[in-house]
Amino acid sequence: MSWRSINFDWNRARAFLVTAEEGSFSAAARALDMTQPTLGRQVCALENELGVTLFERSARGLTLTPSGVDLLEYVKGMADAANRFSLAATGHTQTVAGKVSISASEATAAFVLPPILARLRQQAPGIEIELIATNDSSDLIRREADIAIRAYRPTQPELITRKLQDLRAHLYGATSYLSRLSKRSCPADFNGADFLCFDHTSVIQDELNKRGFNLTQKNFPVTIANHLVQWELVKAGVGIGFMTQDIGDAEPLVERVLADFAAFEVELWLVVHRELHTSKRLKLVFDFLAESLSSSPKSGTVGLSGNLNN
């Protein structure tokens, strides 16, 4: 290989890749935590180095040129290789000190993990925890998190998974709200009730209608993506929403909607990248979470949004 012929800057290639993925210099600058002028200069410098134009600039924004489209695939391969290199290096780290990032749903992060992480900090004070509370699935392969708690089993071969247990979720409403309904003995009695949803899709509506309800979009007047806020709205009597059985049954302000109605069941999984699993500190955290979440009565909380998610 002629190493002298390889003289472009990876940081500039990364600036090109992220700009192409984000669609604008401003969005790419935010993603890379740099100023827009700095990022723009890096892309321009790469274009000058390569002798090609990567983006067409116009009032409507950026558009990849044919050369940009072709070169983007190679830069993606470079990014994947860089990620694998970083994962392999992390996997060979044998110290039990350092940062471990954990991705979990907002509700799991708020209701379940605090006492578990408190015990972990006592047992392994050298471990620094970054808790990523999100209802989106963090990409472990791209290092958005080291470990994830999810309500589905990932299928990527690069990931190691461990099933924690099966969760049961129910519909709940505030006692103050449900008492205003004239009848509530069967799904048809809730045709005029208000339900809370996570987005503007019909996923929840379709799932409930499969189970005997007859709901329309008019039954979903409030949309809120944050599960913690949604649960507070349920408790305040705004409408009916989902919560796992352990959390919902323990809340004195609410009660199950249709007590004999079959629970919504979902599997809870712990996930880590297979190369990271050889790291001593990550294995320690992974095993600690697996034991704690498998035995904890509050083992996980979920929200129905596409699936009982994260």
Non-local (6+) Cβ contacts of 14 within 8 A are 32, 75, 79
Please tell me the distance from the alpha carbon of residue 239 to that of residue 128, in angstroms, as a whole number: 39
Domain covering 167-264, topology? D-Maltodextrin-Binding Protein; domain 2 (3.40.190)
Residue 169, CB-side half-sphere exposure with 13 Å CA sphere: 23
**For the chain, domain boundaries:** 3-91, 98-165+266-301, 167-264
244 strand-pairing partners: 169
- The token pair that represents 155 in the structure block: 């299928």
Domains 3-91 and 98-165+266-301 share a fold: no
- The token pair that represents 184 in the structure block: 């509530």
CB 50 within 8 A of CB 39: no
Closest of 248, 251, 193 to residue 218, by C-alpha = 193
CB 75 within 8 A of CB 19: no
DSSP strands (E only) in 227-299: 241-244, 254-256, 264-273
pLDDT at 157: 81
Non-local (6+) Cβ contacts of 139 within 8 A are 145
Q: In CATH terms, is domain 3-91 a member of 1.10.10.10?
A: yes
Full pLDDT tens readout for the chain, 310 residues: 555 556 667 888 889 999 998 888 988 898 888 899 998 999 999 888 888 899 988 877 888 999 889 889 888 888 877 777 766 666 555 567 788 999 998 989 999 999 999 999 998 999 999 999 988 777 776 778 889 998 888 888 888 889 998 888 999 999 999 999 988 889 989 999 999 988 777 888 998 999 999 999 999 999 998 889 999 999 999 999 999 898 999 999 999 998 888 888 888 999 988 766 678 888 899 999 999 998 655 544 544 444 443 3
- The token pair that represents 132 in the structure block: 């990523």
Please tell me the distance from the alpha carbon of residue 180 to that of residue 193, in angstroms, as a whole number: 10
Task: Taking the CA atoms of 192, 198, 202 and 205 in sequence, report the sign of the dihedral they define.
Answer: negative
Please tell me the distance from the alpha carbon of residue 195 to that of residue 78, in angstroms, as a whole number: 47
Please tell me the distance from the alpha carbon of residue 112 to that of residue 228, in angstroms, as a whole number: 12
| Residue position matching structure tokens 């979720």 | 169
CATH class of segment(s) 98-165+266-301: alpha beta
Task: Taking the CA atoms of 239, 242, 247 and 248 in sequence, report the sign of the dihedral they define.
Answer: positive
Q: In one letter, which amino acid is 17?
A: L
pLDDT at 11: 85
